[in-house]
Copies of this chain bind each other. A is one copy, B any other.
Amino acid sequence: MAELRVAMIGHAFMGGTHSVAWRTVNAAFDLPLTARMSVLCGRDAAKAAAAAEKLGWAEHATDWRDVVTRDDVDLVDICTPGDSHAEIALAALAAGKHVLCEKPLANSVAEARAMTSAAEAARANGVRSMCGFNYRRTPAVALMRQLVADGRIGEIRHVRARYLQDWIVDPQFPLVWRLQRDKAGSGALGDIGAHIIDLTQFVTGQQITGVSALTETFVRQRPLVGASAGLAASSGAGTGEVTVDDAALFLARLDGGAIGTYEATRFATGRKNALQVEINGSRGSVAFDFERMNELQFHDATVPAAEGGFTTILVTEPEHPYLAGWWPPGHPIGYEHTFTHEARDLMLAVAAGEDPTPSFADALQVQLVLDAVERSAANAAGWTKVEPA
């Protein structure tokens, strides 16, 4: 069977999840291509070598510029922090490689626009590009999308989206790169707010047209970093300034008539990865919390009132999106397979010569919403239109 030879740039948290995806996707799904984990690229040779061995990559490399032009690479999978996405993606697209780029697409609208243009140009040559908003591929989220698309929710009135974490509640948690504007672009807003923007637009089929926003940085000075691993880190000596938001809140209008409340925060004590979405429409409602990612709450308002209520759908039936590849009903799957499903859909698109979603253009639009949020927050929460792509 034809192979899809993958080069992965970066091997921290996202490198780990993407490695699961490539390692697993052909065992779980019958696909027209076989993923080959060709090369892992990281700046430190020793660390890259260790990561490649542990995560199952055939080779390692240290210079991404070499890697993205190698003849034996079909797809470049970008798992680095956001400040290097544009440069790597542009080079890979220029070299005719398919690109999977982690979200956020870029740290600025300008970069995202450049990447989108490059992706559209490359598309003419059959080069595919995709941005990794993995939560779309949670089966329960895909089921929400399906229910909305099938008209089961009716006309959507309300979107209620929160992404709640608590990993920096402690003021002694150190100043990791995610808390620095030059590396991360923004704080909770871009890191996790971007996910709920993408996810709710995906599920509703509507786009945010304007926002009113407020951001806050609760802890403005933090210890400098000693050592870090994944999202965990220890403190070193000295302190530095937090230059991103700890929390971002906004109200929104969507182009199909819905109104929404959005909240992204790293200060929701006790909430670990609570990506919570509720959508209310004229015919029904859906509600979801990623901490119970295998469940969807569905209310069908056409059922007689005496039997109505929210049904807890255990999203583990073979009829459910992506579940045919997994276990019998009632056997949960884990977070990492949102990435496995991403890899699956990308491989299907590549094989079919079709464009996968979300495209870079889709990701640019999310970036434009983030931009409107920041502008509104800087302007006393005044209503701010999302700029056209």
Give A325 Cβ to nearest chain B Cβ, in Å: 10
Is A344 in contact with chain B by the CB < 8 A criterion?
A: no
Q: Which of B166, B249, B267, B330 contacts A271 (CB 8 A)?
A: B330
Q: Is the CB of B332 within 8 A of A291?
A: yes
Q: Is the CB of B251 within 8 A of A269?
A: no
Chain B: which residue is nearest A212 at the CB level? B381
Q: Which of B251, B293, B298, B307 contacts A249 (CB 8 A)?
A: B251
Q: Which of B27, B291, B294, B328 contacts A314 (CB 8 A)?
A: B291
In the complex, chain B residues whose CB is within 8 Å of the CB of A282: 169, 269
Q: Tell me whether A280 and B272 are in contact in the complex, defined as CB-CB below 8 angstroms, given that A381-B212, A381-B381 are known contacts.
A: no
Q: Which of B214, B283, B336 contacts A251 (CB 8 A)?
A: B214
Q: Is the CB of A251 within 8 A of B250?
A: yes
Q: Tell me whether A306 and B317 are in contact in the complex, defined as CB-CB below 8 angstroms, given that A157-B247, A265-B158 are known contacts.
A: yes
Chain B: which residue is nearest A17 at the CB level? B327
Q: Tell me whether A259 and B274 are in contact in the complex, defined as CB-CB below 8 angstroms, given that A306-B319, A313-B308, A382-B380 are known contacts.
A: no
Is A81 in contact with chain B by the CB < 8 A criterion?
A: no
Give A61 Cβ to nearest chain B Cβ, in Å: 19
Q: Is the CB of B212 within 8 A of A330?
A: no
In the complex, chain B residues whose CB is within 8 Å of the CB of A13: 328
Secondary structure of the A side of the interface? mixed
Q: Is the CB of B332 within 8 A of A231?
A: no
A1-38 interface (Cβ within 8 A of B): 13, 16-17, 19-20, 23-24, 26-27
Give A26 Cβ to nearest chain B Cβ, in Å: 7
Q: Is the CB of B270 within 8 A of A310?
A: yes
Is A96 in contact with chain B by the CB < 8 A criterion?
A: no
Query: How many angstroms from the CA of A113 to the CA of B34 in the assembled complex?
Result: 45
In the complex, chain B residues whose CB is within 8 Å of the CB of A238: none
Is A123 in contact with chain B by the CB < 8 A criterion?
A: no
Query: How many angstroms from the CA of A319 to the CA of B304 in the assembled complex?
Result: 10
Query: How many angstroms from the CA of A160 to the CA of B283 in the assembled complex?
Result: 26
Give A35 Cβ to nearest chain B Cβ, in Å: 12
A48-63 interface (Cβ within 8 A of B): 54-56
Give A307 Cβ to nearest chain B Cβ, in Å: 6
In the complex, chain B residues whose CB is within 8 Å of the CB of A305: 317, 319, 329
Is A353 in contact with chain B by the CB < 8 A criterion?
A: no
Give A136 Cβ to nearest chain B Cβ, in Å: 16
Give A305 Cβ to nearest chain B Cβ, in Å: 5
8 A-B pairs within 8 Å (CB atoms) are namely A26-B54, A169-B301, A251-B251, A271-B280, A272-B328, A306-B319, A333-B336, A334-B334
Interface residues of A (CB under 8 A from B): 13, 16-17, 19-20, 23-24, 26-27, 54-56, 143, 157-158, 160, 162, 164-167, 169, 212-214, 216, 218, 230-232, 247, 249-251, 253, 257, 259, 261, 263, 265, 267-274, 278, 280-285, 290-294, 298-301, 304-314, 316-320, 326-337, 380-383
Q: Known pairs A16-B27, A272-B329, A304-B319; list 9 more (Cβ under 8 Å).
A: A19-B27, A27-B56, A157-B268, A164-B280, A166-B280, A251-B251, A270-B308, A334-B336, A382-B383
